[in-house]
Structure 1
Amino acid sequence: MKLEAENSPVIVGASQAQLIKTLKKLKSYGPSSFACITDDDGNYVQVAGGRFTCFIERYDAKSKKLFRGYHSSSSTNFEDGALLSFSAGRVPLKKDEWFNIDDVIEVFSMFNQRQALPGSIYWREINVLNQSGS
């Protein structure tokens, strides 16, 4: 496993303590606003934002599909289309796609331990680019 965070050194084989420390430093407006953990097969989980305003995505290398995490019920004050701004840009989110960093730590930890991701988080496929067929 390889843990990467903006403006931080890459950590191969991150411990639980390193994972938590890296993720807790994330802030939408800070020097480190996104992170990613990747396995040897190219699957990954990534986060942008920090503290109480994060979104989570996972990539399945086999199917080449990207998924965004969401809750079964919206528990935020954000409306659909509200923007999460961070150093790599601005992403419009649905009101059920906002997470806090504790949720993110749980997802990253389970992924890092090669366990099934939490059942309380659901995943919807998202299209990042409109790709032309080969």
Structure 2
Amino acid sequence: MGRIIFQRENCKPVVAPGERKLALELSRTRMSFASLANDAGEYVQVAGGPGLFLLERRGADGAHYRASQDTPVVSHPDGTKMAFSGGSMTMAQRDWFLLRQVTEVFVAFAESRGWPSYVHWNQVQLHALARTV
């Protein structure tokens, strides 16, 4: 996969972060965004925080995906807006992710492992969330 770089909005990039560093940096994301990218142009990114996030990724094929899950982790109804520094997103109940889940996804990407079983990726248009790297 090559070099891995974590970037949080308005912060210095972190090269090759481990699980503990990823967890710490993601916990510091507050109404903002962060990403983890490799040299091949693939990345995972989040918007939101501190406790709830929108999760997206870009695949090796250049396609853009938004994560969802079958069992919602919040009681927010569909149509609730999540505000972050880049604007706001209208969310479906199944599109919200907890910090621990986002950390698991970032670690899976960093270690080239399979995605956690609860994550489903749905292809979206590239304008859905601006790339942060």
**In the alignment, which residue of structure 2 is the partner of 1:90?**
88
**In the alignment, which residue of structure 1 is the partner of 2:131?**
none
1:40-71 residue CA offsets vs partner (Å, 9 max, x unmatched): 11010000111332110011131x21111111
Match of 1:127 among 111, 125, 128: 125
1:61-118 residue CA offsets vs partner (Å, 9 max, x unmatched): 31x2111111112242212221110001101111100111000000001101111111
* TM-score, with length taken from structure 2: 0.87
Rounded Cα–Cα distance in structure 2 between residues aligned with 1:121 and 1:51: 20
User: Gaps spanning 5+ residues in structure 2: where?
Assistant: 129-133
**In the alignment, which residue of structure 1 is the partner of 2:100?**
102
Larger Rg: 1
Match of 2:22 among 7, 19, 22: 19
Let me know the Cα RMSD of the aligned residues: 1.5
Whichever residue aligns with residue 83 of structure 2, its letter is S
> Is the CA contact (8 Å cut-off) linking 2:73 and 2:97 kept in structure 1?
no
* Structure 1 runs (4+) greater than 4 angstroms displaced: none
Whichever residue aligns with residue 4 of structure 1, its letter is Q
**In the alignment, which residue of structure 1 is the partner of 2:72?**
74
Aligned length: 125
> Is the CA contact (8 Å cut-off) linking 1:51 and 1:100 kept in structure 2?
no
**In the alignment, which residue of structure 1 is the partner of 2:6?**
3
Secondary structure, counterpart of 2:95 in structure 1: coil
Rounded Cα–Cα distance in structure 2 between residues aligned with 1:26 and 1:111: 18
> Is the CA contact (8 Å cut-off) linking 2:52 and 2:98 kept in structure 1?
yes
Whichever residue aligns with residue 84 of structure 2, its letter is F
* TM-score, with length taken from structure 1: 0.86
Identity %: 28
> Is the CA contact (8 Å cut-off) linking 2:73 and 2:98 kept in structure 1?
no
User: Gaps spanning 5+ residues in structure 1: where?
Assistant: none
